[in-house]
C-alpha cells in the first residue's frame, strides 16, 4: 500500500480505509467469514465528494458560464472514461482485490470497476484527511488545465456537426457501419465507418460503438474541411 500512497501523494492515518477502497464486492462476497466490506459504500460517498469538488472548481474557474454549461463540463470531467484514465495512470488495477470469477474475467482492466475504485479512493482520502486532502488529490488527478482541454474535446458532438454540414445540400444520406471489433470482452475496441450517399468519408476507433462513430464523424469533418 505504501507504493500506492506514494502515487497518490497521500499517506493514510487509517490504512484500513484504503484497503476497503480496493475491495471489490466479488472479493468481499468470497470472504464473508472475514467480515470484509466492499468498496461500494465508499464509491457512493466518493461520487458526491468528486461532484462537489468539481463543481466548486468550475464555479471558480468559469465565473461567467451559465449553469447549463457548468453542468455539461462537470459531467464530462467526472464521466466513467475520465475516471478510468485516472485509474490507468495510477496503475490502480494491480492493487484491487477481486473474486476469482472477476479476476478470471479480466476485472482488473474493466472500465466500470476501475472507475468505481477511483471514486472509492477519493472517499477514503476524504474520510481520512478531510475535504482539503480529498480536494488536493482530485485536483492532482483530474482537474488540471490539460485535463479540462481534453474533456472539452470529448464534449464535442461530431456526429451532429457532420449531420448539419451535409444537410446544407438536398438529398444527402449519412450512415454509420461497424467494420471491425477487436480485443477481449472487457476491453474491446470498435472501428466505425461513416458513409455519405454510400461512399466512405471517414473512419475511427473507440472503446464503445458510440465513441467509434464520433471518431469516424470527426475524421469525416476533417476530410470534408480539406
Active-site residue (options: 102, 119, 128, 193): 119
- Asked if residue 80 belongs to a known ligand binding site, the reply is no
Residues 6+ apart with CB under 8 A from 203: 179, 191, 192, 193, 194, 215, 216, 219
The answer to whether residue 193 is catalytic is: no
Q: Calculate helix-pair angle for 67-77, 40-61, nearest 10 degrees.
A: 140
Contact at 8 Å (CB) between 78 and 52? no
Q: Confirm or deny that 119 is annotated as ligand binding.
A: yes
Q: Report d(CA 193, CA 203) in Å as an integer.
A: 4
* 77 close to 148: Cβ distance less than 8 angstroms: yes
115, 33 contact by CB (below 8 A): no
**Ligand-binding site membership of 144 (annotated):** no
Catalytic residue selected from 30, 40, 47, 103 = 47
Based on the residue annotation, tell me whether 119 is a catalytic residue of this protein.
Answer: yes
Alpha-carbon torsion (162, 163, 167, 173), positive or negative: positive
CB 220 within 8 A of CB 202: yes
- The annotated binding site for Mg(2+) is made up of 43, 116, 119
By annotation, the residues acting in catalysis are 47, 119
- The annotated binding site is made up of 43, 116, 119
Amino acid at each position: 500500500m505504501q507504493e500506492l500512497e506514494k502515487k497518490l501523494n497521500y499517506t493514510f492515518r487509517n490504512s484500513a480505509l484504503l484497503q476497503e477502497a480496493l475491495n471489490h464486492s466479488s472479493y468481499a462476497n468470497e470472504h464473508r467469514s472475514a467480515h470484509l466490506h466492499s468498496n461500494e459504500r465508499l464509491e457512493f460517498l466518493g461520487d458526491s465528494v468528486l461532484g462537489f469538488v468539481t463543481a466548486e472548481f468550475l464555479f471558480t474557474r468559469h465565473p461567467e458560464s451559465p449553469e447549463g454549461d457548468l453542468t455539461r463540463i462537470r459531467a464530462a470531467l467526472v464521466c466513467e472514461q475520465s475516471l478510468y484514465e485516472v485509474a490507468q495512470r495510477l496503475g490502480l488495477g494491480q492493487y484491487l482485490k477481486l473474486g476469482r470469477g472477476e479476476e478470471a474475467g479480466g476485472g482488473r482492466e474493466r472500465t466500470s470497476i476501475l472507475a468505481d475504485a477511483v471514486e472509492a479512493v477519493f472517499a477514503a482520502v476524504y474520510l481520512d484527511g478531510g475535504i482539503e486532502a480529498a480536494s488536493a488529490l482530485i485536483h492532482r488527478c483530474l482537474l488540471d488545465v490539460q485535463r479540462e482541454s481534453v474533456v472539452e474535446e470529448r464534449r464535442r458532438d461530431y456526429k451532429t456537426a457532420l449531420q448539419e454540414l451535409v444537410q446544407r445540400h438536398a438529398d444527402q444520406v449519412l450512415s454509420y457501419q461497424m467494420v471491425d471489433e477487436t480485443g477481449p470482452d472487457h476491453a474491446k475496441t470498435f472501428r466505425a465507418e461513416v458513409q455519405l450517399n454510400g461512399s466512405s468519408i471517414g473512419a475511427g476507433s473507440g472503446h464503445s460503438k458510440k465513441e467509434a462513430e464520433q471518431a469516424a464523424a470527426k475524421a469525416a469533418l476533417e476530410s470534408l474541411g480539406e
